[in-house]
A and B are shown apart, each in its own frame.
Chain A
Amino acid sequence: MPQIAQLADTYASQVFWLLVCFGLVFFVIGRGLLPGVVSTIDQRNKQIADDLGAAEAARAAADAEEQAWRIAEGKQRAQAHALIAAAKADAARNTQAALEAAAARIEETTAAAEARIAAARAAAQGEVQDVAAQAAQDIVSRLAGLSVSAEDARGAVQGVLAHG
């Protein structure tokens, strides 16, 4: 086994060159290059953590914004509903009033017309009585030669009319 057979001859060389090489590795890589690598990794991890934090905060803000918008929208919707309801009530009231006015006007017109009709009928009735009384006077004077006063004739006519 050369490891043992050559031990006495080579151990100094082995140890020396190992220390030289490992020393180089330790100081050039371990002390020289590695801190840069580590700081780069740490910086990147920090950057990622910060970015994730910022994204989280932005999402929270967006959520809050949306919530606020929802509340505002609800409020506006309620307002709009109230406005519509008020407008509806107003319109209904106006319609009601207009209908009532129209109904009153119609009532009035109808009443006037009926009064006119009644007056016309009464006038017509009176005319008919006058004509009938005159006719009765005429008939009596012609047939019986009697002269009947206008009042009597009228009374007779009225009596006949009343008795049908």
Chain B
Amino acid sequence: MFLRVTGTSTVAEGKVDPVHQFTIEPLFGTDHWSIAGHNIAFTNSALWMVITTLVLIVFVGGGAKKAQVPGRWQMAVEGLTGFVDTLLQSNIGDAGRKYLPYVFSLFTFILFANLLGLLPLALVGIHPFTATSHFTVTGVLAIMSFAIVLIVGFAKHGFHFFSLFVPHGTPAVMVPVIFPIELISFLVRPFSLGLRLFVAMMAGHVLLEVLSGFVISGTNAGVGTFFLAGVPSFLLMIGICALELLVAGIQAYVFALLTCVYLNDAENLH
């Protein structure tokens, strides 16, 4: 999407708007699709979430064979499953198995959404949309994880779950100070969880767009600026693209890892 310079509203007086790529454009259902008065139009964001879902279902469905000796595809799906399973096992222990469906869905959904948003499909005129660059999306995912932590925590430990805010070995006099601090740090979790992913994805895409703007403006301004600004910016973009692929994986991993860590608090109260 960093190459979309010829789009109608992207180019205003020859400049590239680096955040235009995050604009949500309704595709259909704008007028009459609504639930309880809230419009639920099918947008480009929804389209890419659906694409993510379909790709994910095809990927896992294609690899969910039960062969004793796995093929490549099955190996890939089992590797991914084993990765998430190890994550849960190492953070929560044997009790972590029951969260595998949720954490696997979370990790793969974010990973695929991140990666699909990075595809250079603009070369063929399709503009990928990164759903995870919207905090409405990452926020819902974060609230979901946080809600599960709260539900599991209170269901398993009742009001004893509040002892989470008093770390083991805290002197009695320190409890009034430590408790609010721990409570606040606990309540900040869903925000940090959701914002981290949103900021990381948005920053990468903006950076690529800004650099591509440098390439185009530099090239348009003449041969001198082409070599001075255009070429270095383009080389930097190649590196940033590789970095963004890494970030796409790391952010999905961090989201899943932190969910595991928080679930561990709820599952095995210290």
Residues of A within 8 A of B (CB): 1-3, 6-7, 9-19, 21-22, 24-26, 28-31, 33-41, 43-44, 47
Contacts and interface: CB of A to CB of B under 8 A. Distances in A.
A17 B135 contact: no
Interface in B128-144: 131, 133-137, 140-141, 144
Given A29-B57, A36-B66, 10 more contacts: A9-B39, A12-B35, A17-B46, A18-B137, A21-B53, A26-B105, A29-B104, A33-B61, A37-B78, A41-B78
Interface in B70-100: 70, 77-78, 81-82, 85, 100
Interface string B12-50: 000000011011101000000011001111110110011
Given A22-B105, A33-B61, A13 B133 contact: no
Contacts of B131: 18
Contacts of A34: 60, 81, 100-101, 104
Contact of B35 (A6, A16, A33, A41): A16
A39 B43 CA distance: 38
B141 A22 contact: yes
Given A2-B19, A34-B81, A34-B100, A14 B134 contact: yes
B61 A16 contact: no
Q: Which among A9, A24, A25, A44 has the greatest number of chain B C-beta atoms within 10 A?
A: A25
Most buried by A among B108, B140, B144, B198: B140
Contacts of B50: 17, 21
B101 A31 contact: yes
B109 interface: yes
A1 B101 contact: no
A11 B136 contact: yes
A47 to B, nearest CB: 7
Given A22-B105, A26-B105, A34-B60, A13 B41 contact: yes
Determine chain B's interface SS by DSSP, over half rule: helix
A1 to B, nearest CB: 5
25 contacts: A2-B19, A2-B24, A9-B24, A10-B136, A13-B45, A13-B46, A14-B43, A14-B46, A17-B46, A18-B131, A18-B140, A21-B49, A21-B50, A22-B105, A26-B105, A29-B61, A29-B108, A36-B64, A37-B60, A37-B77, A38-B81, A40-B78, A41-B81, A41-B85, A43-B68
A38 B100 contact: yes
Interface residues of B, number: 54
Nearest to B21: A2
A29 B56 contact: yes
A15 B140 contact: yes
A33 B42 contact: no
A19 B100 contact: no
B68 A12 contact: no
Nearest to A6: B24
B251 interface: no
A65 to B, nearest CB: 31
A36 B67 CA distance: 11
B114 interface: no
Contacts of B22: 1-3
B101 A26 contact: yes
A45 B105 CA distance: 23
Nearest to B59: A29
Contacts of B23: 2, 6
A2 B202 CA distance: 11
Contacts of A44: 68
Contacts of A18: 49, 131, 136-137, 140-141
A25 B43 contact: no
B52 interface: yes
B63 interface: yes
